[in-house]
Amino acid sequence: MRNHLRALICRGGPDSRRRGRGLPLALALGLALLLAGNTVYADAQPEGRAHADIVDFKQQPASVEVRRVARWILDSRDNHGMPYAIVDKVDAEVFVFDAHGHLKGEDVALLGLARGDRSIEGIGDRKMSSIRPEDRTTPAGRFKASLDHDVHGQEILVIDYANSISLHPVVKGTPAEHRAERLASPNLLDHRISYGCINVPLKFYEKIVSPAFAHTFGIVYILPEMSPANEFFGFHDADSDASEHDSQRVGNDASQKGTATNGGDQHSPGQ
């Protein structure tokens, strides 16, 4: 299946190799000092980034896990000056931030049919028809992402090339899948339908995702649903409610968050 994404993506990009071999020593040293000075200045300017303790979600609801990860990213500067997105699989939401940690937008998403935080080995080389329903997961992790285009010219945000995971506008799918209706559904179980890719509303992609990642790499943090985020990403969290909250989110069946079920189409193919 996910080899399908590989076939669609047109790889390419500007030459990123260093230039300037043979520069006079003094000029090379001066250039190095200038670049170093710029780096220090970029990291030191407090007005350009949100404070780690007061991440501004602009009154948008966000889970405790999302807020904890957002604070950690800013506090550690783990995004390395790049824009980033946080994907909350449990609540089926995507939050997009600029390089300084300011929220640009948030919206709902469709995710992998199966619960789990890992992709099975070699899944990127398999045909979609051979992927079992229980293997259709959206893997958790920290991914360096960039915009690209498929062979039809549609822009997508490539997250995990090896396992063919991307974030893109919601695909039509089969009529039985009702993907547009699933996006609008308050039942979180309805948001689990894809082979692993993250589907978002077209308007959100065009107005928020695409501009945020244009002409630059970015980081996508996909939160785990089988373990606490701080354990998964390896950061210390001092929140007093951490243990209680983790026990509520981790390991719960998604069906407990809604009354409807996927019904007979729960194993329908998707992307």
Residue 92 has a CB neighbour count (10 Å cut-off) of 24
Q: Look up residue 200 and give its two tokens.
A: 């978002």
Phi-psi label, residue 161: left if phi above 0, alpha if psi -120 to 50, beta otherwise = alpha
Q: Cα–Cα distance between 84 and 65 in angstroms, integer?
A: 16
Output the pLDDT for position 173.
73
Output the pLDDT for position 239.
59
Tell me: domain 3-10+54-254, CATH 2.40.440.10, correct?
Answer: yes
State the pTM of this model. Answer: 0.73
Output the pLDDT for position 121.
77
Q: Cα–Cα distance between 172 and 27 in angstroms, integer?
A: 56
For residue 183, what are the CA distances in angstroms to 91, 94, 135, 169? Answer: 12, 12, 22, 11
Output the pLDDT for position 248.
54
SS3 state at 34: helix
Please state the three-class secondary structure of 113-148 as a single string: CCCCCCCCCCHHHCCHHHCCHHHCCCCCEEEEEEEE
Output the pLDDT for position 267.
32
SS3 state at 255: helix
Output the pLDDT for position 1.
53
Q: Look up residue 180 and give its two tokens.
A: 């547009």
Q: Cα–Cα distance between 78 and 230 in angstroms, integer?
A: 13
Domain boundaries, the chain: 3-10+54-254
Amino acid identity at 109: A
Q: Cα–Cα distance between 179 and 194 in angstroms, integer?
A: 9
Output the pLDDT for position 29.
39
Output the pLDDT for position 19.
34
Residue 70 has a CB neighbour count (10 Å cut-off) of 23
Residue from 270, 1, 269 nearest 124 by CA:
1
Q: What is the mean pLDDT of each run of 10 residues along the chain (271 residues)?
A: 49 32 40 36 41 75 96 96 98 97 97 92 70 88 94 90 92 83 95 94 97 97 96 80 51 39 33 72
Output the pLDDT for position 242.
47
